Structure 1
Amino acid sequence: MDRKFVDFQLAPDDLTAIRFGISPGHELCHAVRAMLRPDEYPLQWGWMRATRGAIPRDDFEVLALLIRDEGYFPDFLTTTPTWELTPEAEAARLRDIDDERFEVDMTKVLVRTDGSRRAAVQRMLEQPDRARAMIAEAWLSVWNSGIAPVWTQLERLLRADIAVRSRRIAESGIGAMIQGLHDRVAWSDGAVRVTMRIWSEVVDCRGSGLVLVPSVMGATGCFVLTEPPAQPTLFYPAQGVTATWARDPADVASALGALLGPARARILLDAHEPRTTSQVARDTALALSTASHHLTVLRDAGLVASARDGARVLHRRTPLGEAMVGAVL
């Protein structure tokens, strides 16, 4: 049998052709899929035990209707890799999906569905305004009950993965980094090649670039977006995900605290966003001079970087700091 590939063709030597992103929608979709097929998502069992009872059943069923337990789900659920998420903003985006995009994606779901599910999808197609509102409400409800409680832990893993991959590009080049994403992903003559089960396709990414998106919930394999208006995107399993990734943040702080000391551990955990020394001092209830001392130690260790922004100096985790936090998770 002929092997199937999706080839994302890039401009030769264009280091800007590849960028990283985080897709909350992708995480949510695979969280739904994990609950539909728990036997195939053992790394999510701890998360499921903690959250299953909190997720409203009716809202879950709306998303499960579209996402199903395998195969295609609407591209509009995952096409906004971003670094900053406001759940309300994402729900608003879903309410405003244009008619053509909604019809195209939902028709793809329709032809892959049968029985009572097919009838329900057909009703959504016939009442797009009502359907978009229903999907947005369900997305927000399932997010707030199932993902929001663990988003801090989940986001740290995603950022740590990106930090490590970015450093690998600097050290060994794009090709070496791509080869390490997954056993189904390879670097071939200036193209990112993904082995597929069903179809082959060549995607010209020159001018648009390719977005690489790590995933914690979607740790079962690789997934691709290839059709406009979505930007070409490859979702791959984040590294370092274990069955205990969803443990309580207090446990993570305790583990880091044993290594760095409680104050420095707290500063490092909170340093995913840039903050001034005064903000660090206030958030940790430390004297300004003490906070400054801890930041100096973390900076000298390569875990925090400081950069001037006008009259302010902002401190944020470095790739090494991201990797350390991710490793503890």
Structure 2
Amino acid sequence: MDRNFVEFRLAVDDVGAIRFGVSPGHELCHAIRILQRPGDYPLQWGWLRAVQGRVPREAFALLASVIGEQGYFPDFFTATPRWDPDPEDEAARLGAVPDAALRVDLGKMIDRSTGERRAAIERLRDDPAGTRLRLSTAWADAWDALVAPYWTQIERMLHADIAVRARRIAVGGLGAAVGGLHRRVSWRGDAVRVELRAFTKVLDCRGSGLVLAPSVLGSAGPFVLTNPPVEPTVFYPAQGVGADWHRRTVDAERAIAALVGPARAGILLTAHQARTTGEVAADLGLAISTASHHLAVLREAGLVDSRRDGRAVRHVRTPLGEAVVGGAG
């Protein structure tokens, strides 16, 4: 039987434009879907049990109606994935979605709906200003209840996955790395192909490149974004997502502290953003000389990279450091 697929075709110059990113919006949309169809997400049952008592009913009802249970959901929920996105920016961005984009995406959901749900989405489409306010408010409420308590751990797992994939590209090449994203994702020499259920599309990505984005909550399979202004994107299930991924951040801190000591664990866990030695010392309440010593040890172990930025030297986790932090959680 023929299978549907989306094929992202790339020119030679675009191969260097393939990059990785993280999307808070994608995680929240799948959180809403897990609550609707938990049977499709067995790896999320631990998280599901943890959040069921605090689901905001009104926000969930609105988002569930618009996002649906499976397949396409509105592109405006997902900004172009970046390395270190600010989730608070997502709600603000939803509050500024252009009328045209709102109507187009909601129109696609109307075509996929029937009965009262279809009528409800039609009402949303016909009132863009009110819909922006309702959606951004619901997004913030759902985020705070469902994802925010686990975002630190989710982000670490996503960064750890990206670190592992980046190493695979360096060692085995792009084809091997892409082919290892998911069984329904393959490399075709000049294109990335993603097998889907609903439709077939060939997208010329020459000049725009391609974003690869791991997902913790979207563990059921790959997902794609193909319509501007969002960059062409392939979402895929992150590695290391087990039934207990949602456990508290303190467990990760304890595990890393047992490995490298409390002070170095604190430095490593907060080194997702580049900071100077003075900033590291101030953030953790250490003497500058002590922070410098710990940074040197972490650097020698390959967990932290130190680079000069003008007169300052800034320190940030290496891919190996990302993998250690994500794996410990």
**Same fold by TM-score, threshold 0.5 exceeded?**
yes
Change in Cα spacing, 1:327 to 1:84, as seen in structure 2 (3 Å) is: closer
**Bigger Cα displacement from structure 2, 298-307 vs 193-202:** 193-202
Which consecutive residues of structure 1, in runs of 5 or more, have no partner in the other structure? none
Distance 1:3 1:112 in 2: 20
**Paired residues of 1:17 and 1:206 also in contact (CA < 8 A):** no
Q: Pairwise mapping of residues 1-329 of structure 1 onto structure 2 (< 5 A)?
A: 1-12=1-12, 14-329=14-329
Distance 2:284 2:91 in 1: 33
- Counterpart of 2:12 in 1: which secondary structure? coil
Distance 2:7 2:23 in 1: 21
Residue identity matched to 2:239: Q
- Counterpart of 1:2 in 2: which secondary structure? coil
**Paired residues of 1:11 and 1:17 also in contact (CA < 8 A):** no
Deviation at 1:13, TM superposition (A): 5.7
Deviation at 1:199, TM superposition (A): 1.9
**Bigger Cα displacement from structure 2, 143-152 vs 9-18:** 9-18
Distance 1:317 1:55 in 2: 35
RMSD: 1.4
Residue identity matched to 1:137: T
**Bigger Cα displacement from structure 2, 6-15 vs 229-238:** 6-15
Distance 1:198 1:91 in 2: 29
Deviation at 1:282, TM superposition (A): 2.2
Deviation at 1:3, TM superposition (A): 2.3
Change in Cα spacing, 1:230 to 1:282, as seen in structure 2 (3 Å) is: closer
User: What is the aligned residue count?
Assistant: 329
Deviation at 1:114, TM superposition (A): 1.3
User: Percent same amino acid at aligned positions?
Assistant: 58
Question: Which portions of structure 1, spanning 4 or more consecutive aligned residues, are displaced by more than 4 angstroms?
Answer: none
Distance 1:259 1:77 in 2: 39
Residue identity matched to 1:304: V
Deviations for 1:34-91, whole angstroms, at most 9, x for unmatched residues? 1111222222222222223223110111111111111221011113312333334222
- TM-score, structure 1 normalization: 0.96
Distance 1:300 1:30 in 2: 39
Deviation at 1:5, TM superposition (A): 2.0
- Counterpart of 1:218 in 2: which secondary structure? coil
Deviations for 1:231-279, whole angstroms, at most 9, x for unmatched residues? 2110001111111211111111111111111111111111111112122
Distance 1:130 1:27 in 2: 24
- Counterpart of 1:149 in 2: which secondary structure? helix
Deviations for 1:308-329, whole angstroms, at most 9, x for unmatched residues? 1122111110000001111112
Deviation at 1:221, TM superposition (A): 0.1
Change in Cα spacing, 1:6 to 1:259, as seen in structure 2 (3 Å) is: same
Distance 1:238 1:113 in 2: 30
Which consecutive residues of structure 2, in runs of 5 or more, have no partner in the other structure? none
Deviations for 1:87-126, whole angstroms, at most 9, x for unmatched residues? 3422221121112111110011111111211111111111
Residue identity matched to 2:198: I
Deviation at 1:17, TM superposition (A): 2.8
